[in-house]
Structures are given as structure tokens and as C-alpha cells.
């Protein structure tokens, strides 16, 4: 502990350095990523040479203004790069939605749904944005993602709503509008079908 709150050990010139970072996240959106990962993910140097690791090693022992911001951003980049390397392995068994993001049609539709959940999307409007016919988009989306586009959109909207019920004090009506439902009643009905409890019950349980 003499080395400060970010460093532990018995010597500064040890032969092994372990860098540890933690995300304090809990919610429906983050669980979607966690469900796609194994409990332990290991990338050895023969599989992945990460240029970020030496930079992180240098920054983590500095005591300069802005260090926490720099470390947070570097950790984000490191995690993204690690996940890319993990999923790109030939033997990787990726979730359908992750592989579908690379598809020029379905990937665009997924990003539209995720970036603009409150938009009144239809299969036709999503297909138009992707530049293909309604039937072709619906078929391709279902084949690659494993569920129809409107089912995927509903799941995404409700996952966002669940997280906002936990993370904000917004009213159920306000959250409904933020995620694409016309009223609190419409959100409550869909939410209960998906999670088995009302939005208010979910908020109370996760408070």
C-alpha cells in the first residue's frame, strides 16, 4: 500500500505486472454482452499483441491531472479490443447478434434500432433505410439474428426501459416515450409480458 491506492506488491521491479480494471455495471443491456462471454476470457500473446497494454502500464503508475479520465478511456479501448480479438478467433462461438452486426444490411438495421429506439420503426421503414425490400430484410434479419426485427426491437426497448427504471427517477410515462412507447400503459403491458412484473415492481425490486 506504500505505492498508493492503485498499486500493490512487494517491489517495483517485479518480473510480473498484473493490471486490474473493474466495471461496476448491472442491467439488462450489459447482461446481453455478459451472456455472450465465458466466465473467464483469456487472450495470450501468441493470439493477441495489444499495443494498449504498455500504455496502460505506464499511465496507471502516474500521479498527474486527468489520470482517472485517461485510465477510464484506455480501459474502454482495451476491453473493446480484447472482445474483438476474442470473437474473431476461428473457433469462437459468437452470438448471432454479434455476427449479424458485420452484415451490411442487418448490421445497419441493428444499429438503427439500438441508436434510435424511440423512432416509430416498422419493417418497411427499416428495410428502406437498409436499401432492400421489406421481405428480403425481414428474411435476412431473422436468419442472421434468430428472431424477427420487430421482436428484436421490442426486446431492446424493454431492456432499455428496465435499466432506466433502475438508473433514473424518470416517470414511467417519460421512460415509455424515451424507448418508443406511446404511453405508460403500453409500456407496462409489454414490460409485464417480458419480465413478469410491472415497471413499478421492477423499479422497487432493483432499488
User: Among 53, 68, 94, which residue terminates a domain?
Assistant: 94
44 phi and psi, to 5 degrees? Answer: -85, 165
Instruction: Kindly tell me the number of DSSP H helices and DSSP E strands found in the chain.
Output: 11, 0
Residues 153, 109 contacting (CB under 8 angstroms) = no
pLDDT tens-digit series, residues 30-82: 888 788 788 888 888 888 888 888 888 888 878 788 888 888 899 999 988 98
Q: For residues 111-132, give the mean pLDDT.
A: 96
Q: What is the pLDDT of residue 1?
A: 46
What count of other Cβ atoms lies within 10 Å of the Cβ of residue 167?
11
Do 72 and 13 lie in a common domain? yes
**Overall number of domains in the chain:** 2
Q: Which domain holds residue 38?
A: 1-94
Do 1 and 77 lie in a common domain? yes
pLDDT(201) > 90 = yes
pLDDT tens-digit series, residues 137-185: 999 999 999 999 999 999 999 999 999 999 999 999 999 999 999 999 9
Do 88 and 119 lie in a common domain? no
Do 107 and 201 lie in a common domain? yes
Do 62 and 103 lie in a common domain? no
User: Among 67, 94, 121, which residue terminates a domain?
Assistant: 94
Do 83 and 153 lie in a common domain? no
pLDDT(6) > 70 = no
- Extract the C-alpha cell encoding 175: 421512460
Do 181 and 135 lie in a common domain? yes
Amino acid at each position: 500500500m506504500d505505492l498508493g491506492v492503485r498499486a500493490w506488491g512487494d517491489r517495483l521491479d517485479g518480473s510480473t505486472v498484473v493490471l486490474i480494471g473493474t466495471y461496476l455495471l448491472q442491467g439488462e443491456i450489459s447482461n446481453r454482452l455478459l451472456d455472450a462471454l465465458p466466465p473467464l476470457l483469456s487472450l495470450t500473446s501468441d493470439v493477441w499483441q495489444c499495443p494498449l497494454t504498455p500504455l496502460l502500464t505506464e499511465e496507471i503508475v502516474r500521479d498527474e491531472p486527468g489520470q482517472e479520465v485517461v485510465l477510464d478511456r484506455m480501459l474502454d479501448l482495451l476491453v473493446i479490443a480484447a472482445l474483438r480479438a476474442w470473437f474473431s478467433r476461428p473457433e469462437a462461438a459468437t452470438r448471432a447478434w454479434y455476427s449479424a452486426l458485420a452484415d451490411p444490411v442487418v448490421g445497419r438495421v441493428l444499429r438503427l434500432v439500438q441508436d434510435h429506439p424511440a423512432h416509430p420503426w416498422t419493417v418497411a421503414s427499416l428495410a428502406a433505410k437498409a436499401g432492400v425490400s421489406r421481405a428480403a430484410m425481414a428474411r435476412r434479419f431473422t436468419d442472421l439474428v434468430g428472431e424477427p426485427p420487430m421482436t428484436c426491437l421490442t426486446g431492446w426497448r424493454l431492456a432499455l426501459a428496465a435499466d432506466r427504471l433502475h438508473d433514473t427517477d424518470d416517470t414511467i410515462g417519460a421512460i415509455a416515450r424515451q424507448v418508443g412507447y406511446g404511453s405508460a400503459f403500453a409500456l407496462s403491458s409489454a414490460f409485464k409480458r417480458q419480465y413478469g412484473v410491472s415497471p413499478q415492481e421492477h423499479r422497487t425490486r432493483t432499488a
